Amino acid sequence: MPKEMSSSNVRKVSLSRREFLAGTAAAAAGFTIVKPSHVRGTEANSQVEVGCIGMGGRGTLIAGLLKEHKGYRVTSVADYFAEVAEQAGEKLEIAQQRRFSGLSAYKKLIESKVDAVFCETPPYCFPDHVSAAVNAGCHVYLAKPVACDVPGCLTIGQMGRKAAETKKVFLVDFQMPTDPFIIEAVKRVREGDIGRVAMLNSFYTDDGFRDPPKTESIESRLRNLIWVNDVNLGGGMIVNCDIHAVDAALWIAGGRPVSAMGCSRVGKSGAHGDTAYVYSVTYQFENGLIMNHLGEHLRNTRDFSCGCFAYGPDGYLEANYNGKAWIRGNKKAYRGGEVKNLYVDGIKRNLDTFYNSIVGGVYDNPTVQSSVNSTLTTILGREAARRNTMLTWDEMIKENKKVEVDLSGLRA
């Protein structure tokens, strides 16, 4: 079994590192800025030349933020759909010869010589895209989840280590760990303000995504987040969506679970993908910590909610993706504040961190293994709930189950 997946492995992300990832002024001031020629071997300017793979809604948003950021210059775009690549290229003023489409678009983009690759495609692509980028000597900015299955997660972990060894930055873009209120609340819990944490409760609810009937090829599933409904393309709801809450809970726990048990069901009519839409999963940790996770993705007018609670003998923490981050306690408390606009502001903080790490030569890449663990934890929950049984982490890793994707009929 790989060392990073052993039962003794825990999430080694200190709070100071999380504050660093938040892009605070103090952290930014700590960087030693080096000449761009030392960073990328060019006397051009200090901008990082970026290639963006995946120009759907999120990819377009991030490309727009990159264009506004003085530290970046988007020079190449890629998308499976030619019209999407063309539209993005026009909007971003990308040279015609650097707009790529088809399944091999990512290879052409990487061959076009960029400093950094931003991966915003359906996550089944990530292991191949990230491997190509790291092997070509590019920095990597990756969306979550890092993969849809265990082999893919292990590949991302391997590429994360290779990136660090070859002095490349690799950042996985979670937003909750960048919010100042959440950072401070978690810091206080880790310092014992609510006593030893006895139980965690993570939750994620939304309306899900459109799920039309399938066609002869998966091409029709690759637009508009339809792929989240398909385990092999997006990991399914718990892996693709609920991971935000699970990642925050694991950060508080300081480790990852050893087992999961639970159940799940579709819970709605007219589903064409193979994901479940409601989940109830209980995780157990080596130290006895319990974590309950609830996921619900039905169009029932229930508003979006995402976050977690941490319960201790002296108080509790509440941290929301959109809402309060605070601590109530009978000994100590933290007023915290309202977390607002986290989706965009969190991305902006991560873009700052990514740039400052590249220019400052910071290659410890702390988000990679923690994100691999978060993705594997949601896969563990997905599989335990699907089987309606207890499944251990070690059993899951030993199975090393791969989910296959049928690419027949797609344009190369």
The answer to whether position 349 is within a domain reads no
Q: Are 208 and 299 in contact (CB under 8 A)?
A: yes
The answer to whether position 89 is within a domain reads yes
Q: How far is it, in rounded angstroms, from Cα 118 to Cα 290?
A: 35
The answer to whether position 251 is within a domain reads yes
How far apart, in Å, do the first and last CA atoms of the chain sit?
36
The answer to whether position 292 is within a domain reads yes
Task: Give the SS3 label for residue 59.
Answer: helix
Helices 126-135 and 150-165, axial angle in degrees (round to 10)? 20
Residues 200 and 324 in one domain: yes
Q: How far is it, in rounded angstroms, from Cα 110 to Cα 118?
A: 11
Task: Give the SS3 label for residue 339.
Answer: strand
Q: How far is it, in rounded angstroms, from Cα 89 to Cα 99?
A: 6
Residues 148 and 73 in one domain: yes
Residues 171 and 249 in one domain: no
Q: How far is it, in rounded angstroms, from Cα 121 to Cα 225?
A: 10
Task: Give the SS3 label for residue 272.
Answer: coil
Q: How far is it, in rounded angstroms, from Cα 191 to Cα 104?
A: 48
| Total domains in the fold of the chain | 2
The answer to whether position 305 is within a domain reads yes
* pLDDT of the residue at 45: 62
Q: How far is it, in rounded angstroms, from Cα 236 to Cα 274?
A: 8
* pLDDT of the residue at 274: 97
Q: Containing domain of residue 119, as a range?
A: 3-175+360-365
Q: Are 119 and 371 in contact (CB under 8 A)?
A: no
Residues 199 and 83 in one domain: no
User: Which amino acid is residue 109, in one-letter code?
Assistant: L
The answer to whether position 323 is within a domain reads yes
Residues 245 and 298 in one domain: yes
Residues 15 and 156 in one domain: yes
Residues 142 and 181 in one domain: no
How many Cβ atoms sit within 10 Å of the Cβ of residue 321?
Answer: 22
CATH of the domain at 205: 3.30.360.10
Residues 171 and 184 in one domain: no
Q: Are 397 and 1 in contact (CB under 8 A)?
A: yes
The answer to whether position 412 is within a domain reads no
Q: How far is it, in rounded angstroms, from Cα 354 to Cα 408?
A: 36
At residue 180, what are phi and psi to the nearest 5 degrees? -60, -40
CATH of the domain at 85: 3.40.50.720
The kind and range of the H/E element at 328 are strand 323-329
Which residues in the chain land under pLDDT 70?
A: 1-45
Residues 275 and 387 in one domain: yes
Residues 231 and 258 in one domain: yes
**Strands lying side by side in the sheet with 259-265:** 334-339, 323-329, 315-320, 305-312, 199-206, 290-297, 278-284, 259-265, 390-392
pLDDT in tens, 11-59: 333 343 333 333 333 333 333 334 333 444 433 468 999 999 999 999 9
Q: How far is it, in rounded angstroms, from Cα 284 to Cα 393?
A: 10
Residues 274 and 286 in one domain: yes
pLDDT in tens, 196-248: 999 999 999 999 999 999 999 999 999 999 999 999 999 999 999 999 999 99
Contacts of 67 (CB under 8 A, 6+ apart): 74, 92
Q: How far is it, in rounded angstroms, from Cα 63 to Cα 57?
A: 10
Residue whose tokens read 């996921």: 295
Residues 109 and 153 in one domain: yes
| CB-count exposure of residue 205 (10 Å: 0-12, 13-18, 19+) | buried
The answer to whether position 409 is within a domain reads no
The three-state DSSP-derived secondary structure of 177-188 is HHCHHHHHHHHH
Q: How far is it, in rounded angstroms, from Cα 248 to Cα 142?
A: 18
Q: How far is it, in rounded angstroms, from Cα 344 to Cα 365?
A: 21
> Which is nearest to 364 in space by CA: 131, 20, 1?
20
